[in-house]
Structure 1
């Protein structure tokens, strides 16, 4: 069955008797000519415009998702840090938990150091590695591994300073 094949490759979720795809998965499958919509079939651009009405971040999600898939990773919706994905090592989907949480940041967007540090800390508390996916204006995705820096207790001793 096509749904089972998609699910084993990391697409969609079974919800009761239905098989449900996320909007970025629909765009990915449509762009790669692996999905035909029933009813009124749309081309990629009109489908994108339609989905944009419901999710203004659909382009950044799609760009990161497509890039991760092109690198052979399985990416599933994340833990609610905004635009994030749980990312599984190649060949580990359904065998081991996700190793990474990838969250996207569009070039030029405002994010505070505190909110970034909080997201990294929450990811590390779950035992995952935090990765920031920065989407450049041209659509290129660049990944940065992020971790919390722990400084040793800083004590000032005036006798040491000359």
Structure 2
């Protein structure tokens, strides 16, 4: 199958039969009114990397998948990290769709049918070296809970290995019995340390 690669790394498959076959095997892309299929950056790079799609330029010359990746990464500074999470989920058999904010991806349960089965997961992708905003993470957790979704945080390490964390806002409850804690002491708070003076 072939599709024309745009400057931003997206690919459009014009042939209706090829478009239908690509969409039908994994719900890749978005069908258009002309029978073609528009692929976002993640779908484009994944299908090209897996050898299921050959990207071509305006002169019908093949564009190798690393070039499709480079074009995508030039237009999205977090594309590389997000693509690793996208690819991992696709290889595990999930239907993954790029999502508008607040999260990177929505993921259907295995065996789910696009536009019929509600998404099960919201997935955010981050590098283990990148700082992240804990308040934003709590907000995402609350929004996911309100939408009845499971929020997953896909963390990519320096070797491009992934670890997934389920994120949810805890609801602490219960009571602790009062205890005598011992001798009172003076302490000094210094940045992230508490210094207790022992006299």
Same fold per TM (> 0.5)?
A: yes
> Could you tell me which residue of structure 2 aligns to residue 4 of structure 1?
20
Separation of aligned partners in 1, 2:96 and 2:107: 5
Larger Rg: 2
TM-score (norm 2): 0.72
3-state SS of 1:101 partner: strand
C-alpha contact 1:85 1:101 (8 A) present in aligned 2: yes
Q: Which has the higher strand share?
A: 2
> Could you tell me which residue of structure 2 aligns to residue 67 of structure 1?
88
Separation of aligned partners in 2, 1:68 and 1:49: 21
RMSD (Å), alpha carbons: 2.0
> Could you tell me which residue of structure 1 aligns to residue 111 of structure 2?
91
Deviation at 1:44, TM superposition (A): 2.0
Runs of 4+, deviation exceeding 4 Å: none
> Could you tell me which residue of structure 1 aligns to residue 37 of structure 2?
19
3-state SS of 2:105 partner: strand
C-alpha contact 2:19 2:31 (8 A) present in aligned 1: no
Separation of aligned partners in 2, 1:88 and 1:25: 15
C-alpha contact 1:107 1:134 (8 A) present in aligned 2: yes
> Could you tell me which residue of structure 1 aligns to residue 145 of structure 2?
124
3-state SS of 1:37 partner: strand
Separation of aligned partners in 1, 2:108 and 2:173: 33
C-alpha contact 1:25 1:62 (8 A) present in aligned 2: no
Change (3 A) 1:15 1:120: farther
Task: Trace 1:7-156 onto structure 2 (pairs within 5 A).
Answer: 7-8=23-24, 9-17=26-34, 18-38=36-56, 39-82=60-103, 84-94=104-114, 95-152=116-173
Deviation at 1:53, TM superposition (A): 1.6
Separation of aligned partners in 1, 2:165 and 2:101: 19
Deviation at 1:57, TM superposition (A): 1.6
Unaligned runs of 5+ in 1: none
TM-score (norm 1): 0.88
Change (3 A) 1:78 1:50: closer
3-state SS of 1:133 partner: strand
3-state SS of 1:30 partner: helix
Separation of aligned partners in 2, 1:62 and 1:47: 12
